[in-house]
């Protein structure tokens, strides 16, 4: 890891704040900011978090849904346990993963959130195509598991296919917008698609 990158990260305000609060990653603040602006999750909700490791989005979701609600965290990487969060270790490119999530959820889900990201190759076009493909998996899954009126958030790297993706999501929800929270670094090409009110 280059020294300059390590230094830059340590000086980053969100990184420091995450360490102080005990969030597993600075990404926590992206979800906090998204929820403050769009109210995608609330107390009592059942939330499925796709691409959840190391777990900061699940920490935030668990705080929001409280003891009345539940979070299911899914990742191909092993995760350390979290309070009020069920962990499912699965690769979401494998269809069997969805059976495991369905079993863990025991019914319709209020919110699907996805911060899934591919291993970066350094080639913009390849990375964007892989990111879209993960976001499509998250969208297809949300169509199967969300209750009517449910909400969806997915991270996508911006590029050629982004607008088609957003259009496809918008066609199934009452509200759909793309948003870049302040906690996303300025050099990042990530953007979040926020969709509310699944039409079923």
Q: Among all residues, which ones are annotated catalytic?
A: 155
Is residue 185 close enough to count as binding ligand SAM by CB under 6 A?
no
DSSP state of 119: P
C-alpha Rg value of the chain to the nearest Å: 16
Contact 48, 112 (CB under 8 A): yes
Q: Is 25 in the site for ligand SAM (CB under 6 A)?
A: yes
Comparing C-alpha atoms, which of 95, 86, 90 is closest to residue 78?
A: 90
- φ/ψ of residue 33, rounded to 5: -65, -40
Tell me, by CB under 6 A, how many residues bind ligand SAM. Answer: 21
Using rule CB under 6 A, residue 56 touches ligand SAM: yes
115 binds ligand SAM, rule: CB under 6 A? yes
| CB neighbour burial string for 165-187, b if at least 16 within 10 angstroms, e if fewer | bbeebeebbeebebebbebbeee
Give min distance, CB of 148 to ligand SAM, in A: 26
The distance of closest approach from Cβ of residue 17 to ligand SAM in the complex, given in angstroms and rounded to an integer, is: 14
Q: Establish if 132 lies at the interface with ligand SAM (CB under 6 A).
A: no
Among the residue ranges 1-9, 11-19, 54-62, 103-111, the one whose residues contact ligand SAM (CB under 6 A): 54-62
The reply to whether 91 sits near ligand SAM by the rule CB under 6 A is: yes
> Contact between 188 and ligand SAM (CB under 6 A)?
no
- For 41, the 3-state DSSP assignment is coil
CA distance 200 to 171: 11
By Cβ distance, which residue is nearest to ligand SAM? 51
The separation between CA 57 and the C-alpha centre of its own chain, rounded to angstroms, equals 7
- Out of 14, 18, 55, 183, name the contact with ligand SAM by CB under 6 A: 55
CA dist., res. 89 & res. 108, Å (int): 20
Is residue 184 part of the contact set for ligand SAM (CB under 6 A)? no
What is the smallest separation between the CB atom of 43 and ligand SAM, expressed in angstroms?
20
Binding site for ligand SAM (CB under 6 A): 24-25, 27-28, 51-57, 75-77, 91-93, 115-117, 134
């Amino acid at each position: 890891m280059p020294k300059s990158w390590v230094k830059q990260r340590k000086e980053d305000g969100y990184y420091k704040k995450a360490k102080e609060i005990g969030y597993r990653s600075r990404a926590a603040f992206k979800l906090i900011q998204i929820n403050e602006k769009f109210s995608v999750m609330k107390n009592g909700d059942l939330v499925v978090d796709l691409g959840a490791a190391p777990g900061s989005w699940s920490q935030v979701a668990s705080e929001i849904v409280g003891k009345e609600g539940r979070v299911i965290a899914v990742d191909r990487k092993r995760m350390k346990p979290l309070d009020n969060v069920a962990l499912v270790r699965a690769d979401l490119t494998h269809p069997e993963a969805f059976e495991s999530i369905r079993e863990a959820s025991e019914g319709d889900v209020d919110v699907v959130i996805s911060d899934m990201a591919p291993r970066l190759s350094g080639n913009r076009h390849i990375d964007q195509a892989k990111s879209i493909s993960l976001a499509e998996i998250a969208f297809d899954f949300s169509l199967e598991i969300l209750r009517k009126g449910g909400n969806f958030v997915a991270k996508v790297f911006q590029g050629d296919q982004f607008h088609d993706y957003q259009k496809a999501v918008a066609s199934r929800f009452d509200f759909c917008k793309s948003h870049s929270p302040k906690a996303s670094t300025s050099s990042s090409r990530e953007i979040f698609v926020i969709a509310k009110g699944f039409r079923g």
